[in-house]
Chain A
Amino acid sequence: MPYEIDIDPAWGAAIDRIIAAGAPEQGLLNENCLQRSSSLIQILEQTQKEIGYLPENVQAYLANKLHIPLSEIYGVTTFYALFNTEPVGKHTISVCMGTACYVKGAGEIVAEFERRLNIEAGQTTLDGLFTLEPCRCLGACGLAPVLTIGDQVYGRLTPADVPDLIEKYYLPTKGEST
C-alpha cells in the first residue's frame, strides 16, 4: 500500500509491544468494539508513558492497529486532562483549580508561575523543563491551594513559595547537564 503512517519506527515498535501485551487478557483483538474501546484508555496511558505525548501520527497508528476511528481516540485524548497531544516538559506543574483551591488563591499561584517561567498556562518552557497545567480538583482540598509536580504534592502554598519550588526542580537538572 503506497500510504504509510509517518512515524518513527521505534515509536511504532513500542506501540506494537503495548498493544500485544494488552491483547490476550483484554481481548483487544476481539471484534467486539466495546471491548477494544474499554482497553483504549490503558493503551493510551502506556503509550504516553513511553513516548511522552500523543501526537497525530501516534494516534493514527493506534487507530489503524486497533480498528477504532481516529476521531474516537482523539475524543478520548482531548476529554481527559491526563493526555497530551503536544510535547510536555520534563516536569509538569499541575495547579489544582478546584473550588476550594480557587477560593484560596490558586489563580495567584498560576499567575506567579506564568510570570516566573515566562509562559502561559498550558505551555511548556523553551528549555523543555516545565509545563504549567491548571487542572481539575486533585481531591486534596484540605491542603488548598495545592499543586503537584510529577508525583510530588505541595500544599498550603502562597505565591511566595513559587521561586523555591522552581529552584528545587531547576537546580538538579542544571547540575546533571554540567
Chain B
Amino acid sequence: MEKSVTNDTDTDTVLVTIDGQETRVPVTFTVLEAARQAGIMIPTLCYLKGINQIGSCRICLVEIENMRGLHPACIHPVNEGMAVKTNTPFIRETRKTILELILSDHPQKCLSCQRNDSCELQALTKQLGLETHPDGDTLPFAGETSDFTLDLASPAIERLADKCIKCRRCVSVCKNIQQIGALGVNERGFNSVIAPAFGRSLDEVECITCGQCINVCPVGALREKDEIANVWQAIADPRKHVVIQVAPSVRATLGEEFGLAPGTPVGKFIPAALRRLGVDKVFDTSFAADLTVMEEGHEFIDRLQNGGNLPMITSCSPGWVKYCEHHYPEFISHLSTAKSPQQMFGALAKTYYAETNGIDPNTIYSVSVMPCTAKKFERQRSDHIYFSETDGDRFDVDAVLTVRELARMIKQAGIDFLRLPEQPFDAPMGMGSKAGVNFGATGGVMEAALRTIYETTSGQSADPIEFLSLRGLEGVREAHVDIPGLGGVDVAVVHGIGNARQLLEKIKSGEADYQFIEIMACPGGCIGGGGQPLVSGPQRMSSDEDYRTMRVHALFAESQDLPLHKSHDNPDIKRIYEQYLEHPLSEKSHHLLHTHYQERPQYAAQKWIPGLTETEDEDFIVVPPWQHEPGMGEPAQPSHPVP
C-alpha cells in the first residue's frame, strides 16, 4: 500500500483511504480534493475550483464506506478514517447513465460548435467511455429536447441556451465573483433556463460584457460575438489597409491556444503570425498604453492641483466603466476621461497614422486583438464612432478579436505558430515600454502612472521605488506614495468587480479614502480577461498554482527585456507629442484621446427621467443613450395597473 504523509502530528488533518491509498489531508478538504492529493482525478462537470461547488451534476459520485448510496465528491467533506472508492463498476455505470441523461437534452451538434475540442462535456464522454456504448453510436434516453430562443443581441456575448447543461458556473461567477447577477436560473424542471430575468437579452440588462461567464462555461452555451469573418473579408479586400493592434496581455497567453502551458511568453511569434494572416501593419497596444499613462497621469496631476474630482479612477477596463455607469453613476465623474489604450490607438490610426502616411482614413480597417469581450462593446460606444453623412459612420476600431478568435484565425490559415520567425512590430505605433506592457496585469496601470507622475512632477528618477506592494493578486492592494512636489498620495488597486464594489461602498461610507484607484473588471486584470484562452475545470483542479499567477509571470518575462522602462521615455511617444498632439491634455489630445461617460439603467424596467439630469462639466453630460448605443435596451414602457 502506498502512503503519502504530510504531517502525522497535525491535529487539523485527517487520515482518509481513497481506492486503497492512505493519505493525510487538511480537515477542510472535500473528498474530491483529497482524491486529487492521492493522485486520483475524479471526473467533474459543474465543479469549478474556487467558483462553483454545488454538487448538482452528480458526475463526481463516489462510494463511502458505511454510508448508503453514492455521494458527490466535490461537496462531501472528509473525516477521520473515511474510506472512499472512486472506481467501482457501479460507480462507472452510474456516472455513464448520468452523462447519458445530460446528453439526452443536449444538441450534440459538436461538429459545428465553437467549443468542438475544448468542450468539457465532450471530454467527459471520452473519459467515461461513452464511445464504447453497446448500442453503437446511438445514445439512450432520446426524448423531448429544449428549444430556447438564441440571445445574440449583445455586441459581446452570445447565449445559446439549448447547449446549456445548467451547471450554474456562469451564474456563480456573475453573482458571487463579479457580484452583478445578470444571469440567473429561471423557471423549473425541464423548462429551467439560465438567462437574465424576464427573458431579457443580455443586451437589455446590467451585464457589463466582461465575459467571465464565457471563461467558465464548460460547453458552447456562452461565447463571444465572433468577428473573424469581417476581418478575413477586410484582409481580402485590396482597397482596405488593415492595421492591427495587439494588447499587452495577449503575448502572455496566446501560446495556451497552441498547447503550451499557462505562463509561456510567445510575444516574439505574434508579429510574424499577423503578417502571414495578411494584415498590412502590425502595431502594439502597449504604445497606446504608454499614451494612456501620459494623459491619465497628467489628468491626475491636474485634478490634484486644481481641485478636480478625487479619487480619480482608471477607465482602461470597459467592463468596469460599464459597471460604473449601471451601478455607481455617482462615481462617473471620478472616471478618468482618458480613453482606453484600444480606443486611443483606434482614434490615432485613422488620424495621426493616416495623415503622416498619406492614407485615406476611410480605407483603413482597424483591428484589435484583445483579452477582452467588453472591448467589443467598447468599440461601439457612440463616442468612438465618427458619424458622417457623406462617408458613412466610421468606427475608430472596426473589429475586436479575442485571443481565442485570433488563435482560430491562425489555425484556419494553417500557420505553424510555434515555428514562426521572431519579428518586431511596425513603426510608428509598435513600441511600448515595460510600463505599457505591464498594463496586462492588475496593478500595471497604477504602477506605470505613478512612475510617470513621480518623475514628471519631481524631476527625479522613480527607479528606487519599486511600488512592489501594488503587484500581486490580492483583491485589494494599497500604497502610500510621497511624491516630491505633490505630497502624499494614497492609491488602491482592485481587480474583479466584486472587490471593486466593496471598495466603492467603503469610499461612500467614508471608511476609505484614496486619491487614485485602478479598477479592472476581471479577476487578475487583463490576463484573466473574458477573451483569454479557456482553462477547463480539470485543468484548474490539476494545478496548484493559479493559472493567472503563471500568466503574470509570463507578462513580466515579456516586459523584462524591454529597453524602455517608463512611458514618458518612449521615443515614439515623445515624437507623437512633438509632431501631432503638442502636449498631454492639449486641445488635440482632448479631442482625440479623451471621452465621456453616461449613466445606464440597472433594470430594463427603469425609464429615463430628463428633469433629473445634472450637468456640471461638459465632459460628464448625461444624455439619453438608447438611440445608437448597444447595451441600453429600449426605454421601458409605462406600466398598466391591474384592471
Interface residues of A (CB under 8 A from B): 1-8, 11, 51-53, 55-57, 59-61, 63-64, 68-75, 78-79, 85, 87, 128
Can you name 22 A-B residue pairings with CB atoms under 8 Å? A1-B329, A2-B608, A2-B612, A2-B613, A3-B329, A3-B600, A5-B606, A6-B605, A6-B606, A6-B636, A6-B637, A8-B641, A11-B641, A56-B604, A57-B636, A60-B605, A64-B603, A70-B197, A71-B171, A74-B184, A74-B198, A75-B185
Within B152-205, the residues touching A (CB, 8 Å) are 171, 175, 180-188, 196-198, 205
* Neighbouring A residues of B183 by C-beta, 8 Å: 71
A-B contact count (CB 8 A): 106
**Bound form: Cα–Cα A73–B603 in Å:** 13
Cβ distance B422 to chain A, nearest Cβ, rounded Å: 48
Q: Is the CB of B603 within 8 A of A60?
A: yes
* Neighbouring B residues of A70 by C-beta, 8 Å: 181, 184, 197, 205, 603
Given contacts A69-B184, A73-B197, contact A4 B607 (CB under 8 A): yes
* Minimum-distance CB pairs A-B, first 5: A69-B181, A71-B184, A74-B197, A60-B603, A57-B605
* Neighbouring B residues of A56 by C-beta, 8 Å: 197-198, 603-605
Cβ distance B117 to chain A, nearest Cβ, rounded Å: 31
Q: Is the CB of B639 within 8 A of A6?
A: yes
Given contacts A5-B603, A60-B606, contact A55 B180 (CB under 8 A): no
Q: Which of A8, A52, A63, A79 contacts B603 (CB 8 A)?
A: A63
* Neighbouring A residues of B610 by C-beta, 8 Å: 2
The chain A residue with its CB closest to the CB of B612 is A2
Cβ distance B579 to chain A, nearest Cβ, rounded Å: 41
The chain B residue with its CB closest to the CB of A55 is B639
Q: Is the CB of B612 within 8 A of A79?
A: no
Q: Is the CB of A69 within 8 A of B175?
A: yes
* Neighbouring A residues of B198 by C-beta, 8 Å: 56, 59, 74, 85
Given contacts A1-B329, A4-B612, A59-B197, contact A79 B188 (CB under 8 A): yes
**Bound form: Cα–Cα A52–B639 in Å:** 14
* Neighbouring B residues of A75 by C-beta, 8 Å: 184-186, 197
Q: Does B510 contact A (CB under 8 A)?
A: no
- Report how many residues on chain B are interfacial, defined by Cβ distance under 8 Å: 38
Q: Is the CB of B175 within 8 A of A72?
A: yes
Q: Does B602 contact A (CB under 8 A)?
A: yes
Q: Does B229 contact A (CB under 8 A)?
A: no
* Neighbouring A residues of B622 by C-beta, 8 Å: 2
Q: Specify which of B187, B205, B602 lies most central, judged by the most chain A CB atoms within 10 Å of its CB.
A: B602
Cβ distance B184 to chain A, nearest Cβ, rounded Å: 3
The chain A residue with its CB closest to the CB of B196 is A71
* Neighbouring B residues of A128 by C-beta, 8 Å: 643
* Neighbouring B residues of A73 by C-beta, 8 Å: 197
Q: Does B5 contact A (CB under 8 A)?
A: no
Within B99-123, the residues touching A (CB, 8 Å) are none
* Neighbouring A residues of B604 by C-beta, 8 Å: 56, 60
Cβ distance B234 to chain A, nearest Cβ, rounded Å: 38
* Neighbouring A residues of B641 by C-beta, 8 Å: 8, 11
* Neighbouring A residues of B284 by C-beta, 8 Å: none
**Bound form: Cα–Cα A58–B57 in Å:** 34
**Bound form: Cα–Cα A92–B198 in Å:** 23
Q: Which of B175, B599, B642 contacts A87 (CB 8 A)?
A: B642
Cβ distance B384 to chain A, nearest Cβ, rounded Å: 22
Q: Specify which of A75, A79, A87 lies most central, judged by the most chain B CB atoms within 10 Å of its CB.
A: A75
Q: Which of B180, B186, B329, B601 contacts A69 (CB 8 A)?
A: B180
Q: Is the CB of A74 within 8 A of B607?
A: no
Q: Is the CB of A8 within 8 A of B196?
A: no
* Neighbouring B residues of A87 by C-beta, 8 Å: 642-643
* Neighbouring A residues of B205 by C-beta, 8 Å: 70-71
Q: Is the CB of A71 within 8 A of B636?
A: no
Cβ distance B455 to chain A, nearest Cβ, rounded Å: 40
**Bound form: Cα–Cα A114–B230 in Å:** 52
* Neighbouring B residues of A4 by C-beta, 8 Å: 606-607, 609, 612
Cβ distance A55 to chain B, nearest Cβ, rounded Å: 7
Cβ distance A68 to chain B, nearest Cβ, rounded Å: 8
Q: Does B414 contact A (CB under 8 A)?
A: no
Cβ distance A106 to chain B, nearest Cβ, rounded Å: 18
Q: Does B358 contact A (CB under 8 A)?
A: no
Q: Specify which of A2, A57, A70, A75 lies most central, judged by the most chain B CB atoms within 10 Å of its CB.
A: A2
Cβ distance A136 to chain B, nearest Cβ, rounded Å: 10
The chain A residue with its CB closest to the CB of B187 is A78
* Neighbouring B residues of A57 by C-beta, 8 Å: 605, 636, 639
* Neighbouring A residues of B638 by C-beta, 8 Å: 6
